[in-house]
């Protein structure tokens, strides 16, 4: 997503001892996902290049245990339903507070048994 948002989230999550990688380019993110299994992936739904739903598919094809959290400024019931039906762990509408995302990430961490 936006570079500033990514940097802020990275800083906040690293303070909570999470290992974080951020990408501004969805194609680079998908290439990295093909190389490495991630525990949790946070992605925007609408991006240039590869959209969030397609990123979700790539992630789950690589590892069904990975928790994918989708964020969007275009939240509708239909988009949320599609995301969850396709296997997203959770869905967050923008604007959101960093604490809201941290709570969802913590929930995902607990479900992973970590």
Domain at 73, CATH number: 3.40.50.2300
Phi, psi (rounded to 5 degrees) for 91: -140, 125
Give pLDDT, residue 56.
Answer: 96
Q: How many residues are given for the chain?
A: 114
Alpha-carbon gap, residue 62 to 33, rounded angstroms: 7
pLDDT for residue 77 is more than 90: no
Burial of 10 (0-12, 13-18, 19+ CB in 10 A): middle
Place of tokens 């019931």: 77
Answer yes or no: is 113 within a domain: no
Answer yes or no: is 114 within a domain: no
Answer yes or no: is 28 within a domain: yes
Answer yes or no: is 56 within a domain: yes
Give pLDDT, residue 94.
Answer: 86
Q: Confidence band (pLDDT; 50, 70, 90) for 101?
A: confident
Tens of pLDDT, residue by residue over 19-69, are: 999 998 899 999 999 999 999 999 999 888 899 999 999 999 999 999 999
Answer yes or no: is 58 within a domain: yes
Total structural domains in the chain?
A: 1
Give pLDDT, residue 13.
Answer: 85
Q: Confidence band (pLDDT; 50, 70, 90) for 15?
A: confident
Helix axis angle for 77-85 and 52-62, nearest 10°, is 20
Answer yes or no: is 47 within a domain: yes
Give pLDDT, residue 87.
Answer: 97
- Which residue range forms the structural domain that includes residue 91? 3-107
């Amino acid at each position: 997503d936006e570079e500033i948002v990514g940097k802020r989230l990275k800083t906040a999550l690293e303070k909570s001892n999470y290992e974080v990688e951020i990408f501004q380019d969805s194609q680079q993110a998908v290439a990295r996902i093909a190389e490495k299994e991630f525990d949790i992936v946070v992605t925007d739904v609408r991006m240039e290049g590869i959209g969030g739903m397609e990123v979700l598919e790539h992630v789950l094809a690589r590892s069904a245990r990975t928790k994918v959290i989708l964020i969007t400024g275009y939240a509708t019931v239909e988009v949320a339903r599609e995301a969850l039906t396709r296997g997203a762990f959770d869905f967050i509408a923008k604007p959101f507070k960093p604490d809201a995302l941290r709570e969802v990430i913590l929930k995902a961490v607990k479900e992973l048994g970590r």
